[in-house]
Amino acid sequence: MKILVAEPLAKQGLEILRAQHDVDEKIGLTPEELAGIIGEYDALLVRSQVKVTAEILAHATRLVVIGRAGVGVDNVDLEAATKAGVVVVNAPTGNTVSAAEQTIALMLALARKTAAADASMRRGEWKRSSFTGVELRGRTLGIIGLGKIGQAVADRARGMEMTIIGYDPFVTADQAALHGVTLADVDTIIATADVITVHVPLNKATRGIVNADNIGKLKPGVMLINVARGGVYDEAVVAKALTDGKIAGAAFDVFETEPPAADNPLLTAPNTILTPHLGALTAEAQLRVAEEACEQVIDVLAGRSARYAVNAPLLTPETARAIAPYLPLTETLGRFAAQYIRGGIKTLTVDVAGDLANHDASQLTAAALRGVLADATSERVNLINAAFLAKNRGLTVNERKTNDAGTFAALVTLTVEGDAGKAVLAGTIANGEPRLVRIDDNLLDMAPTPFMVMTRHQDKPGTMGRIGLILGEAGVNISSMTLARSTPRNDALMLLAVDDEVSDAVAVQIRNHPNVLDVWVIRAATER
């Protein structure tokens, strides 16, 4: 088969491709030139600069697979690739060691004021006492995000005799202990860590982990490190804290806008070390990502599954008719369950009942995992990589089938279990519309919406009205509601579909009502 390499790759990767296929290296093609020749090729290899757009894919009549030699796939139109039947693979593990070592390097440089001392020497100065550093041995390192890179950082920090605490809702205490990490919540890390490093994807939950609301809670003398994603720390808030002397130092390898604008306050803040997104930029990492991407391209061309496919495979017509309507519903159930249980999930059980039980349910399981992991990983979860990602997160996944769906033609039930307890959610499709029909032991019937509010409250007169009033005063419109209760005047579960996202402050107002036992703000929108 014919493979087009459109950006520079390590020669070892090219050798992997040339051992089995014809390879053309054509670097620096314009979009028009790429569109003009892409129809001749079965595979395309890119890095980060070439944009594989829907327009280019429209000309890719032979294309089977796109290999991205790196982690992100922002330069590939995944939706268009999926619709065209093109598998997209990336190389998410090749930069793990490099990113972890960059984190450790920045931490040591902050502790010993290396950059400032070097600059002073080059000015002809000899001011030793101005650069008195601190030892890291015995200090507490807080790691937010214990995926591959976070765990690698912990392994290296152990050798420096640091005390390590970490947070990751999908990592169990036993898993964390294997890397010398004691689990803690984010607030505890903010308040007690001497050094904080983040290794999380950027999303609604992780944006501004250190922000104006909690900057004052940081331990005096703390050092902040970001080798993850720009925006995880509020850059302006961190810069002001550095200027005011509230924190000892900050090292940023990534920025919200890259390259950072000339007026970015971090550029002029004291006690900073700033590097131009070097986390994955080592010779070894570039070799590994090239090999990882090229090996997967070979697998796909040979008809084998790729370990790190980032788009879901197309459904066969028969499977599409039966399964496709339930995929977004199942993903929504997974997102709902992850937010409802409030804690690390150890076990996910997918029960498929009724007509669906006669089909391969693996894609439903993948959809459930995609929902459960939506805010925990930047990797896209699909049929090919779902089992691997679940295993990597220490998540046990069970799939069960039964022909008995009760009063429903078909039913999907998710059971999640973790440190915080257990939750059960079920849904079905009725008249072509997704319906949420069960939350724990409560039976209900409501179409899930992107934004929902759920309360558990005492079934007393006026409670529901007061909750509605709080939302109304905040400008939040209720589109529908359902109520489930065991007996009159006992505890009740109320689920509200709302048109607008509910802020944390409004949720606190609801929770402070004397009859409200608990409140959840659910963001169930499926992101692509």
**Alpha carbon 347 to chain centroid distance?**
19
| Candidates 179, 199, 229, 288; catalytic one | 229
* Contact predicate 73/34, CB 8 Å: no
Question: What does the chain come to in residues?
Answer: 528
Within 193-250, where are the H helices? 235-243
**Among candidate residues 493, 476, 475, 497, the one with its CA nearest the CA of residue 484:** 493
* Contact predicate 199/149, CB 8 Å: yes
**Residue 100 to residues 44, 104, 193, 444, Cα–Cα distance (Å):** 30, 6, 18, 47
**Among candidate residues 454, 403, 387, 388, the one with its CA nearest the CA of residue 425:** 454
Structure tokens at 15: 């050798």
Residue 283: strand, helix, or coil: helix
**Is 229 designated active site?**
yes
What kind and span of H or E run contains 167? strand 163-167
**Is 307 designated active site?**
no
Distance CA 15, CA 20 (A): 9
**Residue showing tokens 């009740």:** 492
Structure tokens at 500: 């607008």
* Contact predicate 231/252, CB 8 Å: no
**Among candidate residues 485, 483, 475, the one with its CA nearest the CA of residue 505:** 475
* Contact predicate 348/369, CB 8 Å: yes
The HSE-up count of residue 240 (CA atoms within 13 Å, CB side) is: 10
**Residues 6+ away with beta carbon under 8 Å from 419:** 172, 173, 343, 344, 346
The order of strands in the sheet holding 516-523 is 478-485, 491-498, 451-458, 516-523
Contacts 24+ apart (CB under 8 A), 460-469: 460/489, 460/515, 463/513, 463/515, 463/516, 464/494, 466/513, 466/515, 467/494, 467/496, 467/510, 467/513, 467/516
Distance CA 292, CA 307 (A): 9
**Alpha carbon 345 to chain centroid distance?**
15
| Candidates 79, 125, 161, 258; catalytic one | 258
Inter-axis angle of helices 148-158 and 96-111, nearest 10: 50
* Contact predicate 476/521, CB 8 Å: no
| Candidates 21, 158, 277, 466; catalytic one | 277
**Is 277 designated active site?**
yes
Distance CA 273, CA 107 (A): 10
Where in the sequence numbering do the catalytic residues fall? 229, 258, 277
